[in-house]
Amino acid sequence: FQLYGYCYQDSNDIPDTLTTITELGSPLEMIQLLQTSWEDRFRICLSLVRLLHYLAHSPLGSVTLLDFRPRQFVIVDGELKVTDLDDASIEESSCTSNSDCFMEFPARNFTLPCSVEGRCQSMNEKRNLYNAYRFFFTYLLPHSAPSSLRPLLDKIVNATGNRNKRGNAKYLALELSPSLSVNSEFTQKCVKSANTKYRRVPEAFIPDENYRCWPSYHHKGCLLSVFDVSEAIEICDSYSQCKAFVLTNQTTWTGRQLVFFKMASNHIMPDPDKITYVKVTD
């Protein structure tokens, strides 16, 4: 979380007062997140993975968030950031045997090895990872994910939810980060050959004729991201009410193009930044 400044004040009424000035973020609402596109949820999970990796290798050592819940986070420019560090700790639990390194959670328990130095190995990191798994990854990653990425996502989610050697922040960062590539498997899709024909109308836009779809980047219309025109055609063919679509010059954070899907093409207006495709009827 970006710290812009702080002020220390010692008064008779409130001694040892520290006021911090931080960037403004939006409260985290899980129900609202589940209604957003998978790309946006993927971005949030990726930013969380980067945070987990930083906490595990911070200049102070491995840091754990003892109160690791959604209310401790905000969203800033589409990425997840922690806001409350009151319950952060760098103390790794001391131990004399493995039984002293027992971690208990509502649905699962873990026993970590006790090191020769008398500290529970990676307990801070494991606590953060499992809390990220049960509060974030299980809800945000698999839900409506691209079919081509589901095997990888299942592997990632299972690694964080089990006592697994691969279940660490470095592994998550290495597995999840390559999916950022615009030409990665995530952004591409196996598109069936379409039988429907479309007429291409360059520099044109359909201002009305909206219908709602899910998930959409626009609450009053059907605005989705596509890899190319072929994917847009496949999406339009999958909606019975779709009779046309408009390619915009806007892209998502992964480079996918935003497309408006329309239920008619009666009124087409000129627009140099858009291309309209109209379904050809017999």
Rounded distance, CA 269 to CA 206, Å? Answer: 6
Count of structural domains within the chain: 2
Q: Does residue 161 sit in the same domain as residue 232?
A: no
User: Does 171 lie in the same domain as 109?
Assistant: yes
Together in a domain, 120 and 54: yes
Q: Are 273 and 203 in a shared domain?
A: yes
Nearest one of 134, 160, 145 to 36, comparing CA atoms: 145
Task: Give the residue from 180, 202, 227 where a domain finishes.
Answer: 180
pLDDT of residue 206: 93
Q: Which of 10, 13, 16, 67 is catalytic?
A: 67
* Residue span of the structural domain in which 250 resides: 190-279
This prediction has a pTM of 0.67
Within this chain, do residues 129 and 45 fall inside the same structural domain, yes or no?
Answer: yes
Domain CATH code at residue 40: 1.10.510.10
Query: Please, which pLDDT band fits residue 259 given cuts at 50, 70 and 90?
Result: very high
The verdict on 35 and 138 lying in the same domain is: yes
* Residues 35-69 pLDDT 10s: 788 888 888 888 888 888 888 888 888 999 988 88
Q: Above 90 in pLDDT, residue 29?
A: no
Residue 22 included in any domain: no
In the annotation, is 16 catalytic? no
**Domain end among 121, 149, 180:** 180
Q: Is residue 1 part of a domain?
A: no
Domain boundary among 154, 180, 206: 180
